[in-house]
């Protein structure tokens, strides 16, 4: 399976490419007053507002630093009701695409955040997979994609 590899702090994580629409440079985001800390802002995607989540903040780490390799990953987020929404993910130190063999994936052995999946090791260390559809807690999902809001 191909995964997009990025960092949160010193640790490597991967998003399965099947969940990634495209990788964009770090765009200027519109701030949202009183939004939860994990919401970095709104981006303009061809005239449509798309919420952007800071993957570091939603993981409990300090905010992503704005480096030359910090990117916005545009992903498909499928809500529990089946509606598919565009969701921006601010990811720090995006390294590119890496092949991870299914047989190399193993449970982490630690029950962490619900969006964290199995891990695989290689010469550079471990990479842990993230599941986009499990990323948003129910309260945050309801704030970002209210019932009746148009899905994209």
In a domain, 12, yes or no: yes
The number of domains in the chain is: 1
Burial (CB < 10 A; 0-12, 13-18, 19+), residue 102, is exposed
- Place 54 in a pLDDT band, splitting at 50, 70 and 90: very high
pTM of the model: 0.88
Over the stretch 10-39, which tens digit does the pLDDT of each residue have? 889 999 999 999 999 988 899 988 889 999
In a domain, 141, yes or no: no
CA-CA distance, 80 to 57, in Å (whole number)? 23
State which residues form the domain around 98: 2-136
In a domain, 60, yes or no: yes
- CATH code where residue 55 lies: 2.40.50.180
In a domain, 79, yes or no: yes
């Amino acid at each position: 399976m191909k995964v997009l590899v990025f960092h949160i702090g010193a640790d490597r994580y991967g998003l399965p490419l099947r969940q990634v629409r495209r990788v964009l440079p770090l765009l200027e985001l519109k701030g949202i007053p009183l939004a939860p800390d994990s919401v970095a802002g709104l981006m303009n995607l061809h005239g449509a507002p798309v919420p952007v989540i800071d993957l570091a903040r939603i993981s409990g780490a300090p905010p992503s630093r704005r480096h030359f390799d910090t990117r916005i990953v545009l992903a498909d987020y499928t809500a529990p009701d089946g509606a598919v929404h565009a969701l921006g993910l601010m990811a720090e130190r995006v390294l590119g695409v890496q092949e991870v063999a299914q047989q190399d994936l193993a449970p982490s052995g630690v029950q962490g955040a619900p969006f964290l999946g199995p891990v695989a090791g290689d010469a550079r260390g471990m990479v842990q997979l993230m599941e986009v559809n499990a990323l948003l807690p129910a309260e945050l999902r309801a704030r970002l994609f209210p019932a009746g809001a148009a899905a994209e």
